[in-house]
Structure 1
Amino acid sequence: MTVFSFRPDRPALVHRLRAAGCVYAEDEAELLIAAADSAEALADLVERRVAGLPLEHVLGWAEFCGERIAVDPGVFVPRARTALLVDAAVAVTGPAAAVVDLCCGSGATTVALARRLAPRWLAAADVDPAAVACARRNLAPLAVPVFEGDLYDPLPVRWRGRLDLVLANGPYVPTAAVALMPAEARLHEAPVALDGGPDGLAVLRRVAEGAARWLAPGGHLVVEAGETQVDALRAALTAVGLHPAVVRDDDRDALAVTARRPG
């Protein structure tokens, strides 16, 4: 039997990706080549990428906190900076915690929490059916349930007042700024995962209000936000009886806000 080897033209591929605006063309070329088992398959992947699809949607996965996370078309792609959210959550959460990850998207942060916290309860939720389906696929090996619905609405009522940690990577881009986002996000991720309302805090205010009821005394809420939103977000958290603190990571260009329910 004659075996024909698959020998892609790396320099030509890098040139085409760079011409399409891919900043990390060399790295992307290697990932695309690794994902293809034939010249035809590679050509299809490259065409989708140069057409503007996010690399993660083309590959079908994203790396997050050392884990390979499946990412379906249209689902929010986990950002590297969101690792700070996981770090901040781990820092404030004790052993055997009861944890819920709201606005879970692909379930990337939920997977990271499962690996690092070993919680006694862990569940995720999202309002977007496509995200829920993707998260269920990622979390099935960990036997973590994923609820479909608006924030706390789909959670079992018996959990109210008993959660040690609520994490939420909710949308916080102001509506007017969504149009200024990179096309990869603006055109290929669900608007519900990006648009945070007029000042970007519409969803996070509702997350805070719910946390005041769903957290156990001493429990924490951890969310991601933008630098210009810190004062308004801290005021919103304080108004519902939570005690906020800000965590920054300049290397990741990331900001997380933790808020403790006193008790």
Structure 2
Amino acid sequence: MLAKIMTFNLRLNVESDGENAWPLRVRAAAAAIKRHDADIVGIQEGLLAMIKDLEPLLPEYAWVGEGREGGEEGEYSAILYKKGKWSAEEAGGFGLSETPEKLGAMSWNTACPRMCTWARFKSADGAVFTAFNTHLDHISDEAQTKGMGLIRQRIERFREQTGLPIVLTGDFNVGPNHAVVSGLERAGYVNAYSVLAEGSQGVGRTFHEFLGGESGEPIDYVFASPDLEIAGVEVDRGQYDGRYPSDHYPVCATVRRTSVTG
């Protein structure tokens, strides 16, 4: 198995963004995904209308997910995938709250409802893995920590039941020293930034508010289970047609299976 895994916060369609508003960025966002030829794209802040805007520009992709308030309501942490290479065998989602089966619920002083989307993918040559994608709260440390704790519980239960490798993408809204990130690393999950000579500490910012630049820390991550290895990672700080595709840089990692051939 060899796959390119991207995390990409699209930034909501907000009219006050002016020249950076979504209708002026949609082609740039599609171009970024195409440039990396990503197999799997975990998006954040994608309203349904925004995902629909991308569909004709990315005909090689299908997607799974629902709004964080249930059904078509609210932001999506959807997962896009190359439908010519992968099929989504199973998919679902859960809320990051004390009642995870009820989307839209809020716990742990979160500023808004949060969720995690997951899907099990299979390729034509038989490779199988599961992707999890999330967007943690931007205000509450308790919600960030407990939300990731719930995601880890679900991932670990899934791996116990299936034995499949997993990737985890998301806007975690925390820097590399936060317990959300260090906890994943201590549990054996591989931070894609670990393959860089400078590691997470030298990656620079991934949230740039349409200003560009590198100074700061990442808040967008790709993690992989211990039975996968990271072959490379790129924070894409480029512009497309003279504009940034989002106020976050897309991050794309190449992962491959280590323990078995597939």
TM-score with structure 1 setting the length:
0.39
The alignment's TM-score, normalised by the length of structure 2, stands at: 0.39
The structure whose Rg is larger is 1
Flag the structure with higher helix content: 1
Higher relative contact order (CA 8 A, sep 6+): 2
